[in-house]
């Protein structure tokens, strides 16, 4: 059964959006201060931060950045011209283009990522709190029965 969205729900969503927007805006400013456009930083981060076992193909990077293939190619072109990344053909499938970080790209990514992680240490609690508040609000109504079952299992488990 769905419940009506309350003013408190709206406040929780607004707070979350506010925190996310500030985190993203501040990240853009840090990237620009390091001499990168925000999407360039994001692409460098995606290359190094792909899930284990995934290759940094143009298709994968475009998907992870929510870009069209040709937009990702243009972004990679600009980063390659600056000496941050390098393209190679896939060994098994020559149609695939793999993108890797060059030492210069590693250094600038390290610089920006370090600042972003430091900021998360300072402001991450507010972001996490906004998410937690929203999840609690959602869980208190639509998942009430499920949460009660989980709590009962935990209580039972503590008794055993």
Identify the pLDDT of residue 157.
54
pLDDT in tens, the chain (160 residues): 577 888 888 888 999 999 999 989 999 999 999 999 999 999 999 999 999 999 999 999 999 999 999 999 999 999 999 999 999 987 777 788 999 999 999 999 999 999 999 888 888 888 888 888 888 877 765 555 454 455 445 545 544 4
Vertex 45: Cα angle to 40 and 46 (nearest 5): 95
CB 60 within 8 A of CB 83: no
Identify the pLDDT of residue 99.
97
Identify the pLDDT of residue 146.
53
CB 88 within 8 A of CB 98: yes
Q: Model-level pTM?
A: 0.77
Identify the pLDDT of residue 52.
93
Domain limits of the chain? 7-159
DSSP 34: T
Tell which residue, 18, 15, 16, 41, has the closest CA to residue 30: 41
Q: Which CATH number fits the domain 7-159, given the four candidates 3.40.50.2000, 1.10.10.10, 3.40.50.300, 3.40.50.620?
A: 1.10.10.10
């Amino acid at each position: 059964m769905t419940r009506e969205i309350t003013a408190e729900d709206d406040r929780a969503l607004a707070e979350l959006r506010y925190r996310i927007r500030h985190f993203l805006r501040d990240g853009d400013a840090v990237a620009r201060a390091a001499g990168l456009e925000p999407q360039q930083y994001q692409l460098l981060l995606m290359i190094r931060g792909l899930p284990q076992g995934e290759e940094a193909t143009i298709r994968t990077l475009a998907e992870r950045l929510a870009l069209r293939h040709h937009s990702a190619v243009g972004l990679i072109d600009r980063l390659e011209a600056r000496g941050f990344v390098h393209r190679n053909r896939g060994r098994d499938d020559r149609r695939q283009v793999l993108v890797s970080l060059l030492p210069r790209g590693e250094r600038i990514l390290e610089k920006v990522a370090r600042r972003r992680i430091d900021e998360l240490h300072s402001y991450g609690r507010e972001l996490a709190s906004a998410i937690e508040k929203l999840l609690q609000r959602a869980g208190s109504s639509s998942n009430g029965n499920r949460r009660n079952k989980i709590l009962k299992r935990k209580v039972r488990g503590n008794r055993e």
